[in-house]
Structure 1
Amino acid sequence: MNARDYALLAQEAYSAKPDIGIADSASRAIVRQTADGLCIAFRGSDDLDSWLHNLDSVPVSVTGMGAVHRGFHCAWSDMSAGIIGAIGDKPVTLIGHSLGGAICLLAAAALTLAGKPPVAVWAFEPPRVSFDMTLRVLLSHVPLHLWRNGSDPVPDLPLGGVHPGLLTHIGKSATLIPSISDHLLQNLIPNLPAA
């Protein structure tokens, strides 16, 4: 599978009924068996509960993870048992867009702390999930694929936060100022490499 395939799974997470979690919440994901193995894709923000979790950006200290975004951590914690149960001992690839990308990064951290790191993480236009370098060190041996399209402002939020890995920049900015249209998956997917 390639970057576009994973982005299409992230897109499917918005329209498919969640296999784990509650449909009208920030905590929901789909589980798919692919040519590359088990994949879990976390849905991004498309309802009030998701936006409330996005805005709850107060740092909270989590053992082994350091200072992380409280709203994202709460969204992950609310479905962590279901995700861990779905994975069992199988290798897994984690995928997400926006809020879903932030949650998949925290899921990767939790799995790594449990001695079951994911095969890879594909986070499309994720906001920053931590406020120190603990996650970057923890996930240093996990293949992280973090993507930013054009002048999307979401990966620059929240202020003071950091990403656990480097972002791959794709696409050209449509304007000189940050553009939320660059954040939409349908605008990102055509800019991703097909191989």
Structure 2
Amino acid sequence: MNALDAAKIASEAYTAAPDIGVEESASRAIVRHTDAGLVIAFPGSDNGACWEADFDVLPVAVPGAGQVHSGFLNAWRAISVPVLAAVAGQPVTLIGHSLGAAIALMAAMDMTISGNPPAAVYAFETPRVSPDLTLRTLLADVPLHLFKNGLDIVPDVPFGWQHPGMLTHIGKPQLPFPNVLDHSIQRVIAALTAQ
């Protein structure tokens, strides 16, 4: 799977009815069987429940992973059982945009801790998920593809926190300063198409 294909599935996660979870919640996913294998994709913030998860910033300790964002962790854990049942031990690529990217990273964390890490993670415009580097160490052997388009400010928050891997910068900024216009999944798709 390449980044453009993953971004298109991340976009589909916003428009397709969820295969797992409830549409009005922050905790939902689509399941797709692709030529590259099983994919589970999580949409980003598009309702009030999502915004509540985004702003539930208090860190919570996860054994083996350090401190993580409690809202992202809770959004993941609300659907972790059906997602893991859909995976059933087979290789899976996790995909998400924005909040969905953070949820994909929380899923990768739990899967890695349990000894069944994902085949890959594609996280587009993900906010930072941890105030320390323990999660980065845990996920060091998982192929993480973290993307930041233009000067999107979302991957820079919460300020002072960490990403579990290095960001790949794509696209040209919409504005000459940090902004949210560069954040949309459609802008990400356009940037990846232009590459």
Q: TM-score range by the shorter chain?
A: over 0.9
Alignment of 1:1-195 (within 5 A): 1-192=1-192
Return 38-47 or 168-177, whichever deviates more.
168-177
Number of residue pairs the alignment of both structures matches: 195
Normalising by the residue count of structure 2, what TM-score does the alignment of the two structures yield?
0.97
Counterpart amino acid of 1:90? Q
Q: Take 1:12 and 1:85, find their aligned partners in 2: how far apart are those partners?
A: 22
Give CA deviations for 1:74-104 in whole Å, capped at 9, x if unaligned. Answer: 0011011011111002100000000000000
Q: Take 2:83 and 2:174, find their aligned partners in 1: how far apart are those partners?
A: 37
Normalising by the residue count of structure 1, what TM-score does the alignment of the two structures yield?
0.97
How well do the aligned residues superpose, as a CA RMSD in angstroms?
1.2
Q: Take 1:81 and 1:2, find their aligned partners in 2: how far apart are those partners?
A: 28
Which consecutive residues of structure 2, in runs of 5 or more, have no partner in the other structure?
none
SS in 2 for 1:163: coil
SS in 1 for 2:172: coil
SS in 2 for 1:8: helix
Counterpart amino acid of 1:160? G
Q: Which 4+ stretches in 1 moved above 2 angstroms?
A: none
Shift of 1:179: 1.8
Q: Take 1:34 and 1:188, find their aligned partners in 2: how far apart are those partners?
A: 21
Return 38-47 or 60-69, whichever deviates more.
60-69
Structure 1 pair 40–143 and aligned structure 2 pair: CA distance change class (3 A)? same
Q: Take 1:174 and 1:30, find their aligned partners in 2: how far apart are those partners?
A: 30
Q: Take 1:174 and 1:14, find their aligned partners in 2: how far apart are those partners?
A: 22
Contact kept, 8 Å, 1:2 with 1:194, in 2: the verdict is no
Which consecutive residues of structure 1, in runs of 5 or more, have no partner in the other structure?
none
